[in-house]
Each structure stands twice: as structure tokens, then as C-alpha cells.
Amino acid sequence: MFRFLLGRLAVLIPTFIGVSIIAFSFIRLLPGDPVALLSGERVMSPERHAEISHQLGFDRHIVVQYLDYLWGVLHGDFGISIVTKKPVIDQFLELFPATVELSLCAIIFAVVVGIPAGVIAAIKRGSILDQLIMGTALVGFSMPIFWWGLLLIIVVSGILQWTPVSGRISLMFFFPSVTGFMLIDSLLSGQEGAFGSAFSHLILPTIVLGTIPLAVIARQTRSAMLEVLSEDYVRTARAKGLPTFRVVGIHALRNAMIPVVTTIGLQIGVMLAGAILTETIFSWPGIGKWMVDSVFRRDYAVIQGGLLIIAAVIMLVNLAVDLLYGLINPRIRH
């Protein structure tokens, strides 16, 4: 297992460098001048423009800029925002808990609903229930996030008025952030109604962000279960008279979980990408909205730093998924 871990880490290093090259290069292909945007509506003189470009290092060769940036990243320095003048890593760590909280709730929602739905569809293969579950999953997978989010806001928040429209908690509540996770901080605050407000603000973003992963997990679970249920050891377990719950839940589901776990790991990366739209729609103060705002400001340091950190998180999640294989199936440990 240790050799396997070292091998995976050796692959992650060139992958990370490749992502840094792509992020650094493509950002500079965006139209617009970040120096000119700093002046707002005022007209900047060529001398002042050249001075600021020199201060920010934009007048150097692009290869030199990249090497300096990569050297800083390797030492934990992802640059300084040209808009807020704050370190990118500090802003990321400040906003990342909001995205993590939303993504965790979304993946829990997707797993808790998607896996049982896929198992039921596999057991009831060819029935109306199977077609209903898979048809619903196909619809959920096909819906664009921005359309689905706006639809839920109009119906659930606007017409039915069941949930708030945006934000993480009502403006009536104010307390210091301890963990960065609003559900936990609201409980620690001891203020009556704070947790309920934080939970209600989380419902719609969780559903929107978790819908596509739920559909993918349900379809993958059904496919894996159908393959496992036809194996000899499952038929033997049934011939021994074991209860259906034991045959399906222990013998079949555990062996079918390897492709499902892979799918869940991949969906975490999808969620971090989907969080950009979800956070923008619901004004959720996480890294997604932060990245979108930075694109409009042409804040190169924030965009490339955010992309690199997100890529690193996704790579670490995939590494953790690979290590989980050995816990699910002991044969893989060897």
C-alpha cells in the first residue's frame, strides 16, 4: 500500500505542474487589460499604465512570469490579489469552508438518495419503478444548473415561500465565525433560530448542486448491481436461503461499490465546478462566486491561484478514493 501511495504521489506532481501551465497560459488569453480595469472609468496615462504593469510584473517575459509564479506556489505563495491587495491563499481559506459545507451537503444528499434508488432499480429491473427511477435520473442529469436553480427559486422561494432566496443565514443573526461552517457556528452561537435559518438557506443550493451527481450515482449503482447480481456467489447465497436484505446489502452491494466510489470521487470534482454557478445563483459566499467575480475583474492571481488550489483538492480526493478501494475490497490491497 505504501508503494502504491508513493506511485500515486509521483503521478500527481507532473499533473499539478501541467495544470499550472494551462491555468497560467489560458488566463492571459482572456480579453481585457487588468491594469486598465484598475483605473475604473478614469483614463490612465501610458506612463502610469507602464508603471503599474512593472509593479505587477506584467512587463516581463511570460516564461519568466510563470517560473516566478511556480516557484512561489511551491513555497505556498499563490500571489497577491491586484484588486483587494490580500494574499490569494488567505482569501481562499476564508471562503473555502462555505463551498466545502455546500459540497458536503450536496454529496450526502446525492449518496443517500442515489445509492438506494440505484439498488431498487436494479432489483426491480424492467419494472415501471425501474423505468421511473432511471427516467427521473436522466431528467436530473440533463437539466442545466442555472435553469434548475432559478426554477426552484421561483417556485419554492417565490411562490410557495418555503425557503430563503439567497445567502447563508438571515441578517437577523450575527455571531463570530469559529469553524467557517455556518451550520456548526450557528449551533455554537446558542442563538435561538440561528441553526434553522442556516439550514433553510442550505436546502435549495444543496438540491441544485446535488441533482446531477445524484443522477450519475443512481445510474452507476444500478449498472454495477445488475452485473454483481448475476454472479455465481450471489446465486449461491440465494440458494442457501439467506434473506434478500443480506444478499443484496452485504454480498452484492459491497462488491458493487468500487465503481460507485469511483463515481462519487469524480462527482466531487464536478461539484466544485458546479459550485461556481450554484453559488452565483444563490449569492453563496464561497470560492465559486469569488472566482466568477475575479474573472470580471481580470484578477489574474486570484483566478490562477483558485484554479490551482481547486485542482490540488480534486487530485487529493481522487487519491483518497484510490486508497478506499483497499478498504472496500481486501483483494485490492495486494
- Of 19, 39, 74, which one is at a domain's C-terminal end? 74
Note whether 21 and 154 are same-domain residues: no
Pair (138, 7) in one structural domain? no
Where is mean pLDDT largest: 18-27, 33-42, 324-333?
18-27
- Judgement on whether residues 98 and 54 belong to the same structural domain of the protein: no
User: What pLDDT is stored for residue 255 in this prediction?
Assistant: 77
- What is residue 109's predicted lDDT score, i.e. its pLDDT? 93
What is the domain extent for residue 50?
2-74
191 and 268 housed in the same domain: yes
86 is a domain residue: no
Average pLDDT on 254-272 reads 78
Check if the beta carbon of residue 298 is closer than 8 Å to that of residue 53.
no
What are the tens digits of pLDDT across the range 274-289?
A: 677 888 888 888 888 8
Q: Which long-range contacts (CB under 8 A, 24 or more apart) does 288-294 make?
A: 288/99, 290/91, 290/92, 290/95, 294/81, 294/83
Asked, for residue 80, whether it belongs to a domain, the answer is no
Cα four-point dihedral sign 227, 135, 278, 175: negative
Indicate if 223 and 297 belong to the same structural domain: yes
Position 83 in a domain: no
Q: Could you tell me if 45 and 139 lie in one domain? A: no
Same domain membership, residue 324 and residue 180: yes
Give the residue with greater pLDDT, 208 vs 70: 208
Domain count, the chain: 2
Of the candidates 74, 102, 124, which is a domain's last residue?
A: 74
CB under 8 Å to 160, separation ≥6 — which residues?
Answer: none
The verdict on 170 and 61 lying in the same domain is no
Angstrom CA distances, 48 to 38, 44, 51, 265, stand at: 11, 6, 5, 48
Q: How far is CA 88 from the centre of its chain?
A: 19
Residues 116 and 263 in one domain: yes
Q: Is pLDDT at 71 greater than 90 in this prediction?
A: no
- The whole-angstrom separation of Cα 321 and Cα 266 is 9
Please indicate, yes or no, if residue 188 is contained in any of the structural domains.
Answer: yes
Q: Is 85 exposed, middle or buried (0-12, 13-18, 19+ CB in 10 A)?
A: exposed
In a domain, 79, yes or no: no
Percent of the chain, pLDDT > 70? 88
Q: What is the pLDDT of residues 129-147, one digit of tens each?
A: 989 988 988 888 888 888 8
| Residue 55 belongs to a domain | yes
pTM: 0.78
d(CA 219, CA 225): 10
